Amino acid sequence: MTNLQLNTEGKLKHFLTIEGLSKEILTEILDTAESFSELSKQQVKKVPLLRGKTIVNLFFENSTRTRTTFELAATRLSADSLSMNIATSATSKGESLLDTIHNLEAMHVDMFVVRHAISGAGHFIAQNTAAHISVINAGDGQHAHPTQAMLDMFTIRQHKHSFDQLKVAIIGDILHSRVARSQIQALNTLGTQEVRVIAPKTLLPSQVESMGVTAYNSIEKGLKDVDVIIMLRLQKERMTSALLPSEREYFKCFGLTEERLKLAKPNAIVMHPGPINRGVEIESSIADGPQSVILQQVSNGISVRMAIMSITLQNNGEAA
């Protein structure tokens, strides 16, 4: 599965999952994003790195942050980019995913950025598209959201500098979260001291410890002395049965409150991939408070996605 992402020299040509990628590859993405982050502070935020390249965003699921930051990242790299409107495309007339891909290929596209409700959609496209086209997974089902995980790692590194002394807690609907899966893989690959997951038993995958985490069913115990807190929303659209009594009950037992935040280290940062549900998983005053880096995560999405787009296209066959 992972080999598909790498070219013959072992370099990244697609970005589909964190699973199986080396610490060196993840660090290269973070270091490259660092240089793009400097660029975003300047008056002229554009570089000609991907001039002449054509990038198509294919979002079969809704998105605010991911789609917009991919569009901005492509613009800042001087690529030509367009976001296909799936609702008004021929998909609604029954055109298959592969036929859509092959028609776009015929328009000499260089990269697809894909979000899809089905796990493995990005892999499927990468296996079935022309060799010179790079595919970036912008979230597939419950499987992976690797660019989100990398912008989260970038934000953690900005604040905490290295991973080996860190205790990180991920709180919420781990079971349905593609973000959590990718974050856990990235945190472990980067050498994080301890990764904790905190959730009711019904929202934890079975044998979750095999993912390299310590599981807690008590938020009070799990938050003790952590450096980084990552909150997740309840993915109600993916719940096929009643896994919780009510949102009110969930907040009472697992919501991040001012009182609970005090259990973490005093300089702990609070993260959330968004969209946030105020009063369900997080108290509003924390989401907007001094320890929150939630909007910094969004800003960092541009630099990190610029890094991933430029690295994959440069490593892929015909790319400049």
Residues at the contact surface with ligand CP, assessed by CB under 6 A: 63-66, 139, 148, 273-275
Q: How far apart are CA 98 and CA 5, in angstroms?
A: 19
In this complex, which beta carbon is closest to ligand CP, that of residue 18 or of residue 260?
18
Among the listed residues 14, 17, 53, 66, the single catalytic one is: 66
In this complex, which beta carbon is closest to ligand CP, that of residue 37 or of residue 148?
148
Among the listed residues 14, 145, 196, 272, the single catalytic one is: 145
Render the burial of 200-210: b for 16+ CB within 10 Å, e for the rest. beebbbeebee
Active site annotation includes 65: yes
Q: Which residues make beta-bridge pairs with 137?
A: 114
Active site annotation includes 115: yes
Among the listed residues 65, 160, 224, 265, the single catalytic one is: 65
Among the listed residues 14, 115, 196, 305, the single catalytic one is: 115
Q: How far apart are CA 96 and CA 103, in angstroms?
A: 11
Q: How far apart are CA 93 and CA 103, in angstroms?
A: 15
Contact status, residue 171 vs residue 286, Cβ threshold 8 Å: no
Contact status, residue 56 vs residue 111, Cβ threshold 8 Å: yes
Q: How far is the CB of 201 from ligand CP (least distance, A)?
A: 25
Q: How far is the CB of 67 from ligand CP (least distance, A)?
A: 6
Q: How far is the CB of 137 from ligand CP (least distance, A)?
A: 11
CB atoms within 10 A of CB 255: 21
In this complex, which beta carbon is closest to ligand CP, that of residue 139 or of residue 205?
139
Q: How far apart are CA 160 and CA 78, in angstroms?
A: 32
Q: How far is the CB of 273 from ligand CP (least distance, A)?
A: 4
Q: Which residues make beta-bridge pairs with 114?
A: 58, 137
Active site annotation includes 67: no
In this complex, which beta carbon is closest to ligand CP, that of residue 65 or of residue 224?
65
Active site annotation includes 17: no
Q: Which residues make beta-bridge pairs with 81?
A: 55
Q: How far is CA 242 from CA 46, 163, 203, in A?
A: 48, 37, 11
Q: How far is the CB of 165 from ligand CP (least distance, A)?
A: 27
In this complex, which beta carbon is closest to ligand CP, that of residue 5 or of residue 148?
148
Q: What residues are annotated to the active site?
A: 65-66, 93, 115, 145
